[in-house]
Chains A and B, each alone.
Chain A
């Protein structure tokens, strides 16, 4: 029963706004703005669809964000100002390339740290292997050395 409710809820959450199949186009006063528009629509994440950027998404919210983006570019805002504006409303979530600092620092540093850890493990593994083989050689006592030598001598005589 509970899972059925959750399913219904999930389906309802999918309910779209007015469906519009056309992706709108904007006129820019300056070709440089259009390039920045393309870059930013690819970097900004659609809050509703979660795994699409606002360039790819046709959700109503993505359309609104594109309109807002166009307006802000035409108003002469810098990329940093525009991203701050979006993050203030939708949180760090809205950026596919999160800023360096705060909670997202773990995202930026994790690959390097994991690589270092992997090298560390590799180094330890190689080291312990060579220690074991050395230990094996060194563990022959003088008595054993003497016996080994006599066996070798015997083998030589037999041949």
Chain B
């Protein structure tokens, strides 16, 4: 009986290998969870884009919000932009982190394409980007009312990503902050 089972050993090994490799094919290596999930938004003090005064992490608190990392040199951000405007129109607070960009270009971009952001943090040298673990634009962070990072999406935020991930999380967080 046991020796019979042994005959199937190569087949079993093959099946296991096939399952492992098949799973490997469907995984996205870029889908890395942020190291800052469930941690408070890093402290910063940076100028407001096209405004006066400094912004800090305290300015993000008070409501469940999205923080979108963007730049005018980022082609994918242009693709994402109309969807951010839709979200803003629905009343979802969207903040911008203008990442390693120059103010004049960023200003022109917002004038031409519309401005979905409540305010923009001007991170010229990418220092806040480094503290956030940003590795490219666009990235979008979901921040809760207490200023804690709850989710990070690297890449374009579109209807599909919103429906699959952000919408359920956003609802949960809204319910949580409503309870408090």
Q: Shortest CB–CB separation between residue A20 and chain B, in angstroms?
A: 12
**Cβ-neighbour of A9 out of B34, B74, B129, B155 (below 8 A):** B155
Contact assessment for B126 and A13 in the assembled complex, using a CB-CB cutoff below 8 Å: no
Does B133 have its Cβ within 8 Å of any Cβ on chain A? yes
Enumerate B75-133 residues with CB–CB distance to A below 8 Å: 75-76, 79, 100, 126, 129-133
CB neighbours of B75 from chain A (8 A) = 12, 15
Contact assessment for B35 and A61 in the assembled complex, using a CB-CB cutoff below 8 Å: no
Q: Count A-side interface residues using an 8 Å CB cutoff.
A: 20
The 8 A CB mask of A13-25 against B (1 = contact, 0 = none) is 1010110000000
Contact assessment for B135 and A61 in the assembled complex, using a CB-CB cutoff below 8 Å: yes
Does A60 have its Cβ within 8 Å of any Cβ on chain B? yes
Does B53 have its Cβ within 8 Å of any Cβ on chain A? no
Does B36 have its Cβ within 8 Å of any Cβ on chain A? yes
The 8 A CB mask of B28-62 against A (1 = contact, 0 = none) is 01101111100000000000000000000000000
Interface range on chain B (Cβ under 8 Å from partner): 20 to 34
Enumerate A43-69 residues with CB–CB distance to B below 8 Å: 47-48, 50, 60-61, 64-65, 68
Does B136 have its Cβ within 8 Å of any Cβ on chain A? yes
The main secondary structure of chain A at its interface with chain B is helix
Contact assessment for B126 and A64 in the assembled complex, using a CB-CB cutoff below 8 Å: yes
CB neighbours of A18 from chain B (8 A) = 73
**B34 to A, closest residue via Cβ:** A91
Contact assessment for B135 and A48 in the assembled complex, using a CB-CB cutoff below 8 Å: yes
**Cβ-neighbour of B133 out of A13, A15, A60, A89 (below 8 A):** A89
CA distance A47 to B74 in the complex (A): 17
**A87 to B, closest residue via Cβ:** B35
Q: Shortest CB–CB separation between residue B17 and chain A, in angstroms?
A: 14
Contact assessment for A13 and B135 in the assembled complex, using a CB-CB cutoff below 8 Å: no
Does A93 have its Cβ within 8 Å of any Cβ on chain B? yes
30 pairs, CB–CB < 8 Å, chain A vs chain B: A9-B155, A12-B75, A12-B79, A12-B156, A13-B155, A17-B71, A17-B73, A17-B100, A17-B136, A47-B135, A48-B135, A50-B29, A60-B126, A61-B134, A61-B135, A64-B126, A64-B129, A64-B130, A68-B130, A87-B35, A88-B35, A89-B130, A89-B132, A89-B133, A90-B35, A90-B133, A91-B32, A91-B33, A91-B133, A93-B32
Known: A9-B155, A47-B135. 16 other contacts (CB 8 A): A12-B76, A12-B79, A13-B30, A15-B75, A17-B74, A17-B100, A47-B133, A50-B29, A60-B126, A61-B136, A65-B130, A88-B35, A89-B131, A89-B133, A90-B133, A91-B33
Q: Which residues of B contact A (CB under 8 A)?
A: 29-30, 32-36, 71, 73-76, 79, 100, 126, 129-136, 155-156
